[in-house]
A and B are shown apart, each in its own frame.
Chain A
């Protein structure tokens, strides 16, 4: 726990200039420079680095914490960062071939990655593995947002949850602090976005789908689920059906 605090403290201003340097390192190195750099490292050492990066990403992703490229370079690559691209290519291939996972960059500006399930067929990926309660709660919230056209005011979400006997004002048996779970944990994991509505007094917030939800979940499947709940055809919600079909063809 103390280790986690350390890394978040280091993500302050100085880090940004280092990232700019990294950009130059990656884009301006010529192939011969990379070649020479690679020759300095024994292939067995490179293999080990690939293994360490894979482990690093797996541990972070297991907690649904998105992985920052800067962290990979700082904590794992270290002096090997000149061959970062080659190591990452092998890491990507390993994830696909061994684990059936895809390393997806959800933030191309800050270079943040998550792992998504690439195995075709068979059910939805579990959003909170080992915790069906949390998965269910998240799914309900995402449905509310989706059916509302992609944005839902926080009061709407809280009121709907209250009807399901999940009250953010009270301590819940399974989820403990519901508000914290929804506005902090799910947001950190990039399943939800909790955004302040500008010019509101007192301050109001709204919920949107997070980047991870966009990638991991099929909107079409979600709509089909909602439709089944109401015993109706998914196409009776024309707007949502159009959005769901469009997003399906995008992935």
Chain B
């Protein structure tokens, strides 16, 4: 039933390779452009099928174009990921060993934190106790800038968070090394770092801010979907473009299913 791979698919793939990560709206534009350039049949609502054709061919190479949601803006993004890697080796060719170690430590801090972020002060402290080779303050700042430029981290007011690219590319790796320690969103089942947490100590489920916005949209009296306690946090507004992408939320949840079944994930978060 699936189409054979044509030049339109190849052009799309080449574009993904040079961009690394693109937003859903950029992907739609690219889809149209690729089909029109090579005279291929274009159906505006068949982007995911189009990408499936590419993914079938990429599978033997352990590569995949994967969809994921940004914790910041709730928008969908597509990233070209390498599934053979079970570590941060994706970055290995661009960074020195101690820089990679710093990245892993930064990721540890972020995953451990409630806010899903790490302060530059905390990261600087880590830099001072690296096992490979210590990094000085200026070197650390330089590396952190590189991480931001290469789109692995985001920075805001001195706080660092994992970028959408990082989460999409390293989700597999993070689930393996952090296991139960990593927070998972109750709504979409994906890794949740920047999230709201239910205040009930016997519940404690987590939800991405964009997922909160969607779930509680229009409700003046929000209650936890799991334990029904009052949801005390401020409900964020849905970004205009986010609501356009809301239709693909269900398909993204399907595509990003974790190796672990969803029921055990919610059971685990209840325990914490």
Binding site for B on A (CB under 8 A): 1-4, 47, 50-52, 54-55, 58-59, 62-63, 94, 97-101, 117, 119-122, 126, 129-130
A126 and B19 CA atoms in complex are apart in Å by 12
| B244 sits at the interface (CB 8 A) | no
Smallest distance from the beta carbon of B97 to chain A beta carbons, Å? Answer: 6
The answer to whether A1 touches B96 (Cβ under 8 A) is: yes
Which chain B residue has the least Cβ–Cβ distance from A61? B17
Question: A121 contacts B38, CB within 8 Å?
Answer: yes
**Contact of B11 with A51 in the complex, beta carbons under 8 Å:** no
- Name 5 A/B residue pairs within 8 A (Cβ), A-sorted: A4-B93, A55-B84, A98-B5, A119-B11, A121-B7
A130 contact set on B, CB distance < 8 A: 18-19
Residue numbers in A under 8 Å from B5 (CB-CB)? 97-98
Contact in complex: B61, A122 (CB < 8 Å):
no
Determine whether the beta carbon of A129 is less than 8 Å from that of B95.
no
Q: Which of B60-91 touch A at CB < 8 Å?
A: 60-63, 82, 84
Taking a contact as CB atoms under 8 Å apart, the answer to whether A55 and B14 are in contact is no
Q: A1-B95, A51-B60, A99-B13 are in contact. Are A119 and B18 (CB under 8 A)?
A: no
The answer to whether residues A98 and B57 also contact, given A2-B97, A119-B11, A121-B37 and a CB cut-off of 8 A, is yes
A62–B11 alpha-carbon span in the complex (Å) = 16
| 7 nearest A-B pairs in the assembled complex, by CB-CB distance | A100-B10, A129-B18, A122-B37, A98-B57, A1-B96, A51-B61, A2-B96
Contacts of A122 in B (CB 8 A): 11, 37-38
The answer to whether A119 and B10 have CB atoms under 8 Å apart is: yes
Chain A nearest Cβ from B249, distance in angstroms:
29
Contact B57 A62 (CB under 8 A): no
> Which residues of A lie under 8 Å from residue B17 when comparing CB positions?
58, 62, 99
User: Please, how many angstroms separate the alpha-carbon atoms of A130 and B20 in the complex?
Assistant: 10
CB pair B7–A119 under 8 Å, yes or no, is yes
Closest beta carbon of chain A to B156's beta carbon, Å:
23
Residues of B within 8 A of A50 (CB): 60
* Smallest CB gap from B133: residue in A: A2
Which residues of A have CB within 8 Å of B97? 2
User: CA–CA, A122 to B37, complex, Å?
Assistant: 6
B11: A residues at CB distance < 8 A: 100, 119, 122
* Closest residue on chain B to residue A131 by CB atoms: B18
- Inter-chain CA distance A137–B79, complex, in Å, is 29
Q: Per a CB cutoff under 8 Å, which of A4, A54, A119, A126 touches B61?
A: A54
Q: A residues within 8 A CB of B63? A: 55
Bound: A59/B5 CA distance, A: 23
Mark interface residues in B79-123 (1 if CB within 8 Å of A CB, else 0).
Answer: 000101000000011111101000000000000000000000000
A122→B15 CA distance, assembly (Å): 13
Given contacts A1-B94, A63-B93, A98-B10, 19 further A-B contacts (CB under 8 A): A1-B95, A1-B96, A3-B92, A3-B93, A4-B93, A50-B60, A52-B84, A55-B61, A55-B84, A62-B17, A62-B18, A97-B5, A98-B57, A99-B17, A100-B13, A101-B14, A119-B14, A121-B37, A130-B18
A181 to B45 CA separation, bound complex (whole angstroms): 43
The distance in angstroms between the C-alpha atoms of A96 and B62, with both chains bound, is 17
Q: Which residue of B lies closest to A96 (CB)?
A: B10
Is the CB–CB distance between B7 and A98 below 8 Å?
no
Whose C-beta in chain A lies nearest to the C-beta of B92? Answer: A3
Q: Complex: how many Å from CA A220 to CA B239?
A: 48
- Find the B residue at minimum CB distance from A2: B96
A119 to B11, CA, bound (A): 7
With an 8 A cutoff between CB atoms, is B29 at the interface?
Answer: no
A45 CB, min distance to chain B CBs, angstroms: 13
Contact B61 A98 (CB under 8 A): yes
CB < 8 Å neighbour of B82 from A3, A55, A99, A117: A55
Partner of B93, one of A59, A97, A100: A59
CB < 8 Å: which of A2, A51, A100 contacts B14?
Answer: A100
| Nearest A residue to B15, CB-CB | A129
- Which B residues lie within 8 Å of A2 (CB)? 96-97
Shortest distance between the CB of B145 and any CB in chain A (Å): 14
Chain A nearest Cβ from B53, distance in angstroms: 11
Chain B, residues 162-190, CB within 8 Å of chain A (1/0): the string is 00000000000000000000000000000
Residues of A within 8 A of B84 (CB): 51-52, 55
What's the Cα separation between A86 and B96 when bound, in Å? 34
A122 to B38, CA, bound (A): 8
